[in-house]
Amino acid sequence: MESFIKLLLNNKLWAAEKVSQNPNYFQNLAKTQTPETLWIGCSDSRVPANEVIGAQPGEVFVHRNVANLVVHTDINMLSVLQFAVEELKVKDVIVCGHYGCGGVKASLGHKHLGILNKWLRNIKDVYRLHEVEFAGNLTEEQRVNKLVELNVKEQVTNLAKTSIIQKAWKYTDGPHLHGWVYGLEDGILKQVFDMPPGTAIDPIYVYEDL
């Protein structure tokens, strides 16, 4: 059977199962969405946002891209962030990376990957900022996983640099920013970084007239 046919059949089974548990399941969900969390994760198929945090449909707003980057010129990410923060008023924004990330691994290499080069250069910049931490005797796997954690921290910091987050912190009591890393081998999320509302950032990035 072709893959996409299987997906459509699975969908029928899934929808039928939901309705058998609660006949109004979809009618209720369709009315509104009030998620309290924004998840910014990697596109990797092995890190399904809802599943790893046991979230039901309606509970988490999701944005995913290669290596979970927060890039200031990414209109897609910024639109998601603005909507989540200003309209949905999410309480938490989670940037979730994962060990063994292919994007991070590629950024440590020197292969020409076309358009992807431009995206992964953001991770090379994270490496350059922390180059001294890679000076020791690290295996390839350790290098990748160290950069995975540093990358998550950097992306959380990038969130705090946006006017969207700075404005929210100035006029509301949220959101709380988190940096997590998911273990492909044990399914466990590790908290590696945290910025509660109002955390001070490097003054050069602060907007005073929001």
**181: which strand partners?**
97, 190
Cβ proximity to Co ion, 106 vs 164, nearer residue: 106
Coil vs helix vs strand at 56: coil
Cβ proximity to Co ion, 42 vs 181, nearer residue: 42
Q: Determine whether 64 is an active site residue.
A: no
Q: Determine whether 110 is an active site residue.
A: no
CB of 165 to Co ion, least distance (A): 23
Cβ proximity to Co ion, 44 vs 154, nearer residue: 44
CB of 175 to Co ion, least distance (A): 23
Q: What are phi and psi of 203, to 5 degrees?
A: -55, -25
- The kind and range of the H/E element at 176 are strand 176-182
Q: What are phi and psi of 92, to 5 degrees?
A: -135, 140
**Residues in the site for Co ion, rule: CB under 5 A?**
42, 44, 101, 103
Q: Determine whether 46 is an active site residue.
A: yes
CB of 100 to Co ion, least distance (A): 8
Q: Determine whether 42 is an active site residue.
A: yes
**Diameter of the chain measured on Cα atoms:** 59
Q: Determine whether 44 is an active site residue.
A: yes
**180: which strand partners?**
96, 191
What's the rounded Cα separation, in Å, for the pair 99 and 139?
14
**Which residues are catalytic, by number?**
42, 44, 46, 98, 101
